[in-house]
Amino acid sequence: MTRILVVDSGYGGLTVLREIRALLPAADLIYLADDAAFPYGDWEETALTAHIIETVSGAIADHAPDCVVIACNTASTLVLPGLRARFALPVVGTVPAIKPAAAATRSGSISVLATPGTVKRDYTRALIEEFAPGTDVTLVGAPHLANLAERHLHGEPIADTAISDEIAPCFVERPAGRTDHVVLACTHFPLLRKAMNRLAPWPVTWIDPAPAIARRVEQVLDDPGDRAAGGQVFLRTSGAAWTLPESAIFN
């Protein structure tokens, strides 16, 4: 039985877990919400890197997965090289989907909606230089959106203005055209996509990385298993007891 470990700072990585489960229903999935350390964006980089590597290493020792998925952009930009050097098993990361957004835009104007930590990474800027030359790219570091997504997932009502304030800088009008694609560069953000669609000043294509991550997991596994359902989902947290309803996990 194939076993896949999915790790995020909180519950945003459930958007990735759902896509992996849909594509590989026979695999056992272990989801680790590192909620004791949430949000990762509040950490100093060196300390955060050491913490994530220690946390993931412990989870690998406990669960012996065939593949690890770092379902967090902030973590991926810091720890992928270290984890891949330490472990022989495949480690799949989450990086801003700038390449497909730049390829798909018709207006030549895209935005990257991320946490402030992901926005400031050299890794993110290198992706823009490599894959979006000639494209107008607006980097938006939304300081509160991941927390709003967590609160929404727990059933707390979120004011429209709180979401609008976070996403408004993504919408830029230029002489050549206005923003037509927004990269969701945090796995928490798709949890709010219905609200973001409703509150957007004009329609855009929101690019969710989760389906591409699931396809990459399938590619790196030597034997991803058959398509029959039967895999189990195991839920773990580093801090508080798991409190989400089953509908939030599996729907």
Q: In 10 A of CB 163, how many CB atoms?
A: 21
What pTM does this model have?
Answer: 0.90
DSSP secondary structure letter of residue 44: -
At position 25, the amino acid (one-letter code) is P
CA atoms of 169 and 192, how far apart (whole Å): 16
Question: What sign has the CA pseudo-torsion 33, 205, 247, 164?
Answer: positive
Cross-strand pairs, 68: 5, 91
Q: What integer pLDDT is reported at residue 162 of this predicted model?
A: 98
Q: What integer pLDDT is reported at residue 248 of this predicted model?
A: 66
- Between 118 and 195, the more confident residue is 195
Place of tokens 């203005």: 161
Q: In 10 A of CB 214, how many CB atoms?
A: 22
- Between 243 and 167, the more confident residue is 167
Q: What integer pLDDT is reported at residue 128 of this predicted model?
A: 96
Contact 12, 149 (CB under 8 A): yes
Question: 114-166, pLDDT tens digit by residue?
Answer: 999 889 888 899 999 999 999 999 999 999 999 999 999 988 999 999 999 99
Q: What integer pLDDT is reported at residue 134 of this predicted model?
A: 93
Mean pLDDT, residues 209-223 taken together:
92
Q: What integer pLDDT is reported at residue 56 of this predicted model?
A: 95
**For the chain, how are helix, strand and coil distributed in percent, rounded to 5?**
45, 20, 35
15: its two tokens:
């958007």
Question: 98-109, pLDDT tens digit by residue?
Answer: 999 999 999 999
Question: 234-247, pLDDT tens digit by residue?
Answer: 999 988 777 776 66
Domains of the chain, with CATH numbers? 3-94+210-250 (3.40.50.1860), 98-207 (3.40.50.1860)
Strand 3-8 and strand 67-70: pairing?
parallel
Based on the residue annotation, tell me whether 67 is a catalytic residue of this protein. no
DSSP H/E element including 70 = strand 67-70
Based on the residue annotation, tell me whether 72 is a catalytic residue of this protein. yes
pLDDT band at 225 (very low <50, low <70, confident <90, very high): low
Catalytic residue among 186, 191, 204, 213: 186
Question: 2-44, pLDDT tens digit by residue?
Answer: 999 999 988 999 999 999 999 999 999 999 999 888 888 778 8
- On the question of pLDDT at 251 being above 80, the answer is no
Q: What integer pLDDT is reported at residue 247 of this predicted model?
A: 65
pLDDT band at 224 (very low <50, low <70, confident <90, very high): low
Catalytic residue among 24, 33, 37, 72: 72
Strand 205-207 and strand 181-184: pairing?
parallel
